[in-house]
């Protein structure tokens, strides 16, 4: 992660929160936290997340939602859920 970059972090458990913190430390401008549990968003904000997305709030694939939010995609996508299907879906998101 480089200063000024845009990152998406999938999953806001311990690993995901550490990834958010790392993105902030590296100087990311936008850190989009993605999780199906909105109760985790406040904690992610404390660690440096700037935006939040719950995939359950959208009828289209999350990669499309994020691509629209970022006008094309993110610089870095970090999958912290431990789910191969989520990882595969995030590949299309990186510009």
Query: According to the 3-state scheme, what is the secondary structure of the chain?
Result: CCCCCEEEEECCCHHHHHHHHHHHHHCCCEEEEECCCHHHHHHHHHHCCCEEECHHHCCCCHHHHHHHHCCCCECEEEECCCCHHHHHHHHCCEC
Task: Give Cβ neighbours of residue 47 (< 8 Å, ≥ 6 apart).
Answer: 17, 20, 21, 24
pLDDT of residue 81: 86
Predicted local confidence at residue 94, as pLDDT: 60
- Residue 2 backbone dihedrals phi, psi, to 5 degrees: -115, 155
Residue 18: predicted pLDDT: 98
Which pLDDT does position 90 carry in this prediction?
60
- The residue ranges of the chain whose pLDDT is under 70 are 83-95
pLDDT of residue 69: 93
């Amino acid at each position: 992660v480089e200063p000024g970059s845009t990152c998406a972090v999938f999953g806001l458990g311990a690993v995901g929160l550490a990834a958010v913190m790392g993105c902030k430390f590296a100087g990311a401008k936008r850190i989009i936290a993605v999780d199906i549990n909105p109760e985790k968003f406040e904690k992610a904000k404390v660690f440096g997340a700037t935006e939040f997305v719950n995939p359950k709030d959208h009828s289209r694939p999350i990669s499309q939602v994020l691509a629209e939010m970022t006008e094309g995609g993110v610089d870095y996508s970090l999958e912290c859920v431990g789910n191969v299907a989520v990882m595969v879906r995030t590949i299309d998101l990186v510009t």
